[in-house]
Structure 1
Amino acid sequence: MENSQLSTLNSQLTKTGILGGTFNPIHIGHLALANYLCEFTELDELWFMVSPQNPIKDASNFLSDNERLELVRVAVKDYPKFKVSDFEFSLPRPSYTINTLDKLKEEYPDREFYLIMGADNWNSIHRWKEARRLMEQHNILVYPRPGYALYNDYFPPKTKAINAPLLDISSTFIREAIAKGKDVRYFLHPEVYRLLKKD
């Protein structure tokens, strides 16, 4: 296939961001980042890829896979560019990013996928499974995290830094605050907060 034909084909693909995580629970930091990426980058849509529980992590303070999936579904349902995905639930565990992206590419040939990761993960990507192939074959968008610099000059061709706003909020902070009886409603989608407080 000639370069001009390939370029035309790529322009017709739906540009789909993949934001993976445990989302335990999903909070406004996740939503604001995803909203920015959909409105200020080339992405047409963004999938929240809910990761299954890691068997080597302490899951005692984790919501179940289906509970986390439902909270994400509730949080994103009113914005048409957001989708929730349980794609990794059916893949072999542990879930490796390279395997997920390979399988997505195979099952959704009408989409061009972009892996979204924070600068902290980018700085340790050399430790990921098949890191070189991951960077060579897949699009990556890297967003800033407090304390981690981003230098475009050092990125491979398919990787790009995104100057998204910094929102230093973590799911751990949310869980601990709720456990202490704190009212953190403005850190969460209202319906997510209502469901969490109901438990």
Structure 2
Amino acid sequence: MKIGLYFGTYNPIHVGHLIIANHMAEFADLDQIWMVVTPHNPLKKKSTLLEDHQRLEMVFLATEDYPKIKPSDIEFKLPQPNYTVNTLVHLQEKYPTHAFSLIMGEDNLKTLHKWKNYEVILDQYDIYVYPRISEEEENLELKSHPKVHIIDAPIVEISSTFIRNSIKQGKNIQPLLPAKVWDYIDHNNFYKK
């Protein structure tokens, strides 16, 4: 089974994430998409990040009607700080019959060379890349790498930061969130302070 791993803090998960995940499930040669909820990222401010289990619950609520898209808490169980290459090794050991690939935006592909053991990742795993609007000049040598697959997915410019800030300002951003996720956030008064 070919599994696409779509990593994110999902703070919160929004329709943009679902559009990308569903596009990869339906139009790339992947059997399932696992939305891997990453534990606290050292590069992100802890204060704005909901607890790991709350973000996982939102991903579960958002994906339960999509049989090809699954939430994953695999990184919760790994030592922190964690690196993608370690997650891939762990998954390959746990699920030896699955073939794992990475899903990332063009912006992440540009910085892949800074990842720990990125050469190992490029050598052993396919990478499915979705487009991102960028002001920068296109300078992606990796685009032509045989393991990199550029997928013509819709460009979705919605950010979790924008959603959090809008909720804090009392704006109605319901159309940007799956209904069950909106209900969960609203019920728990998340992001209002």
Per the normalisation by structure 2, the TM-score is 0.92
Structure 2 residue runs without a partner (length 5+): none
Match of 1:126 in 2: 113
Query: Partner of 2:35 in structure 1?
Result: 48
Q: Residue 138 of structure 1 corresponds to which residue in structure 2?
A: 125
Judge which range, 129-138 or 152-161, deviates more.
152-161
Aligned length: 186
Residue matched to 1:20: 7
Residue 104 of structure 1 corresponds to: 91
Q: Does 1:184 align with 2:188?
A: no
Question: TM-score if structure 1 supplies the norm length?
Answer: 0.89
In the TM superposition, residue 156 of structure 1 has moved relative to its aligned partner by 2.0
For the 8 Å contact 2:143–2:150, the answer to whether it is kept is: no
Is the partner of 1:109 in helix, strand or coil? coil
1:77 aligned to 47, 64, 70, which one? Answer: 64
Structure 1 residue 112: deviation in Å?
Answer: 0.7
CA distance in 2: counterparts of 1:154 and 1:44, whole angstroms: 23
Identity across matched positions, percent: 46
**Secondary structure, in 3 states, of the residue corresponding to 2:182?**
helix
Greater CA deviation, 19-28 or 51-60? Answer: 51-60
Query: For residue 107 of structure 1, what is the amino acid of its counterpart?
Result: K
SS of the equivalent of 1:79 reads: coil
SS of residue in 1 equivalent to 2:3 = strand
Which structure would you say has the larger Rg? 1
Contact 2:7/2:37, CA 8 A, preserved across alignment: yes
Distance 2:140 2:39 in 1: 32
Q: Unmatched 5+ residue regions in structure 1? A: 1-13
1:90 to 42, 52, 77: 77
1:153 to 1:104, Cα distance in 2 relative to 1, 3 A: closer
Does the 8 Å contact 1:150/1:161 carry over to 2?
Answer: no
